[in-house]
Homo-oligomer: A and B are copies of this chain.
Amino acid sequence: MASSRFSIAVHTLALLAHGAADKSLKSEAIACLVKTNAVVIRRLLSDLSCAKIVVSQAGAAGGSRLAKKPEEINLFEIYQAIEGGEIFTLHRQTPPESCDIGRSIQAVLGEIQDVLDAAVKESLGKISLAEVLQMIETENENCRAKYQLKTGRQAGKTANKVSNEGF
């Protein structure tokens, strides 16, 4: 892969998961928040829709919403729905059969890809969209804390050490 589609997909889904359970957003609105073109978002939503992660509705008052709860969506589903799934590419030119190594290297590289794929599945599969939302929350709280530190809202010039808590 090596595209930003996964980033944009996670961002989009986080937006959909953020508000009410069945909140629906229009592609234009998402595009604006993600700073890209609406068609880019529609292409993405189209893939996510095939994977039953979102549901889209055409027509006036249309838009897209999550097909299931954020707890039930994990990052590997998203990854799979969106990317070809191969982390590295094989040779452009097939190596010569006449060489002992060349004859089998591509099959072996395929096995290595499978191993990698399993690892990605294992690690991304563990993270749900709900957890991503939580991470975003936490991140925001940290930012707020830092901001308060900078502007000295905490009273006093000795505010060098600050707790990580959300104040």
List residues of chain A with CB under 8 Å of any chain B CB. 1-8, 10-11, 14-15, 18, 33-36, 75, 83, 86-96, 99-109, 111-112, 115-116, 118-120, 122-124, 127, 132, 135-136, 139-140, 143
Is the CB–CB distance between A108 and B89 below 8 Å? no
Can you tell how many copies of this chain the complex includes?
2
B111 pairs with A135, CB closer than 8 A: yes
Residues of B within 8 A of A136 (CB): 100-101, 104-105, 108
Given known A120-B116, A123-B119, contact A11–B105 (CB-CB < 8 A): yes
Extra pairs beyond A7-B105, A120-B120 (6, CB < 8 Å): A3-B89, A10-B109, A18-B101, A104-B140, A107-B139, A108-B136
